[in-house]
Amino acid sequence: MNEAWLFAAQRLSAMVMAPLVLLHLGVILYAVRDGLSADEILSRTEGSLFWGAVYGLFVVAAAVHAPIGLRAVLREWGRWRGAGLDIAMALFGLLLLALGLRAVAAVL
C-alpha cells in the first residue's frame, strides 16, 4: 500500500468530516430542543436531498477514514502487516459504507 496516498486520503476525509461533525452536533442540539420523536426526524429527512447528501458524504468520508486509522493501530499494536491486513481493512471500509448508506437510505 502506498502510505503517502493513505495519509492523503485520511487527511482529506478528515477535512470533509470536520465541518460535517459540527453540523451534526448543531442539528442534534436543535432537534432535541422540545423532545425527540421519530416523526419529527423523519419529517426533516424524508425526501430531503440536502440531508441525504450531508449524511451520504459523511458515510463515505468515515468509510475512508476509519479503516486507515484502524490499519495503523493494528500494525503497531497487533504487529499485523501485509496484504491480509490491507484486504481486511478494505472489507471493513466496505462494511462501514454499506451499513452507513443503508441507514441514510432508510430515513430518506
Partner 1 sequence: MAMLEVEIWRGEGGDGAWRRYAVPHEANQTVLDVVTHVQRYLDPSLAYRFACRVGMCGSCAMSVNGRPRWTCRTHVSRAARKGRLRIGPLRNLPVIRDLAVDMAPFFEKWRDAEARFIPSKEPPEEPVRPDEPERMAADAGIECINCAVCYAACDSVAWNPDYPGPAVLNRLWTLANDRRDGDRDGHLDAAGAGCHLCRSHQECADACPTGLNPTAAIAGLKREVFRRALGGRARGPRQ
Which residues form the interface with partner 1 (CB under 8 A)?
2-8, 11, 72, 75-77
Q: Which three cell numbers stand for residue 97?
A: 459504507
Distances (CA, A) of 24 to 15, 20, 21, 29: 15, 6, 5, 9
Minimum distance between the CB of residue 16 and partner 1, rounded to whole angstroms?
14
Please report the sign of the dihedral spanned by the C-alpha atoms of residue 17, residue 66, residue 107, residue 34. Answer: negative
Minimum distance between the CB of residue 50 and partner 1, rounded to whole angstroms?
28
CB-nearer residue toward partner 1: 8 or 23: 8
CB-nearer residue toward partner 1: 9 or 20: 9
Gap between the Cα atoms of 11 and 65, Å rounded: 8
CB-nearer residue toward partner 1: 42 or 73: 73
DSSP label of 15: H
Minimum distance between the CB of residue 14 and partner 1, rounded to whole angstroms?
12
